[in-house]
Amino acid sequence: MSRTSQTSASSTPPGAPSPRSSLRDHVVAALCSAVLVVGGVKGSPALAAVPVDLTVALAAALCIGAAFHLAPRLRVVRVPPGAVLVVVALLPGALVEVPQGYQGAKLAGMALTLVVVATSVVLLSTRRRRRLWLAWTAGWGLATVAALQVLPRDESQWGRAALEGSNTIAAGRATATAALILGAALVLPGRRPRLRLLAGAAAAALAAVATGSRGPVLAAAVALVVVALVVREGRRRRLGGLAVALVASGVGVVVSDSPGADRLGLVLTGEVTGAEGRLPLWRAAFRALRDGGPGGTGWGGFVTVLGESEAVPGSGDRQYAHNLVLEAFVEGGWPAGAAVLTVVVASLVRLLHHARRGAEGGGVDGVAVVLLGVAVAAVLNASVSGDLSGNRLAWVALALAWSGPPGGRPDPRRRGSTTAGRARSHLLYAGQP
């Protein structure tokens, strides 16, 4: 074989990323995904020997990565005016002194969330990296499934699946999100390893049900329906198949005798709504909005608007509305609430626009469609569980609506690649860009 032919055979195909670039993209996507899930598992005995806070360490790594990403281009970082207005709207709540509550810890968590969101927007600015971010997010969920089988469980959760040092909510979110991403890839048209996707989605879904965490499971189911509705090609057939799968899953949950399934079954049979524990908090939030002015209690001060019987038992002063919009209005004031509501609505609309434009452009932009599903599920879950800084997945998914080139446009560095090559390169891609 001639030297020329050897060089040609070993060279990277036109339009494909080099091995070095591919490795870099995987590392970036893995870190951007890991920082969102590590907070739920860093209390595990398996990680007890780690001498640093893993969330802070990963956030610092993202900052370094973002700096290296921007520095070679000698860019002046231009922050969108809308992002500046959102941050400004959040500031008044930080200036109000809260006599009770957990203001210091909450402000630190919110600052960390802003760092994670900003660096993720910078680092996930290409479609390839967003594809890999979705894949790694599903991968961490499957890793949680495996960990639930081999690592010690928290035996204080009445038989529900949770790792020791963690909780059912963290496990439920990770596994339900993995089931959603893999299930959405299964719903999308195009050639894919459907048996592997089905096996992964089923394993993640079973683990999510075993946690008994109702919010993530139900939110993922709703998001799957949204994904099926957005994809026009074969919509009726896919909706029919998805309906059969969801009904069969619901029947399985109802007849199962596992503690986690029992808890979900109570919601499906209508015996409980799943929101009983939240209703006193929401009533207190609406009362505070009705009786108070446009200024909030200050971040972390939700406990000051609660009656004696309305607080969540065992949480002390660490009380919040378990609804990100209500939390922003009550604690941050009307400007903060309006800013958060605007971000949520505008980002979801933009993601929907990207997904529809990809679907109408002669193919399916699987990345935009699945990212829309993840954002919908995360926002739904954040509407019933957690606080502003405890729902970082929602904020990153929403922020990615504004990252990189608009949906429907290929990344400039990938313009030379073919549709067939890209379809083979990733599970979430089918059709034209």
Q: What is the DSSP letter of 404?
A: S
Tokens of 87: 């941050």
| pLDDT in the model for residue 431 | 31
Cα-based angle 360, 362, 367 (whole degrees, multiple of 5): 70
Strand partners of residue 364: 430
Buried b (16+ CB within 10 A) or exposed e, 21-40: eeebbeebbbbbbbbbbbbb
**Alpha-carbon span 341 to 329, nearest angstrom:** 9
The confidence band for 412, taking pLDDT boundaries of 50, 70 and 90, is very low
pLDDT at 346 over 80: yes
What is the SS3 assignment for 103?
A: helix
| pLDDT in the model for residue 415 | 41
Dmax (CA) of the chain: 84
The confidence band for 2, taking pLDDT boundaries of 50, 70 and 90, is very low
Q: What is the DSSP letter of 22?
A: H
CB 386 within 8 A of CB 36: no
**Alpha-carbon span 35 to 55, nearest angstrom:** 6
Over the stretch 46-81, which tens digit does the pLDDT of each residue have? 777 888 999 999 999 999 999 988 887 656 667 788
pLDDT at 363 over 90: no
Q: What is the DSSP letter of 430?
A: B
Least confident of 13-22, 116-125, 180-189, 224-233: 13-22
| pLDDT in the model for residue 167 | 79
pLDDT at 427 over 90: no
The confidence band for 153, taking pLDDT boundaries of 50, 70 and 90, is low
pTM: 0.85
Closest CA to 170 of 47, 38, 266: 38
Question: What are the phi and psi torsion angles at 163 (to 5°)?
Answer: -75, 150
Residues above pLDDT 70, as percent of the chain: 76
| pLDDT in the model for residue 326 | 95
Residues above pLDDT 90, as percent of the chain: 43
Q: What is the DSSP letter of 153?
A: B
pLDDT at 255 over 90: no
What is the SS3 assignment for 387?
A: coil
Q: Which amino acid is at 198?
A: L
Least confident of 10-19, 207-216, 311-320, 346-355: 10-19
Q: Which residue has the tokens 């009705």?
A: 290
Domains of the chain by residue range: 19-425
* pLDDT (mean) for 271-279: 67
Closest CA to 391 of 247, 207, 215, 223: 215
CB 298 within 8 A of CB 327: no
**What is the per-residue DSSP string for 338-359?**
HHHHHHHHHHHHHHHHHHHHHH
Least confident of 35-44, 175-184, 423-432: 423-432
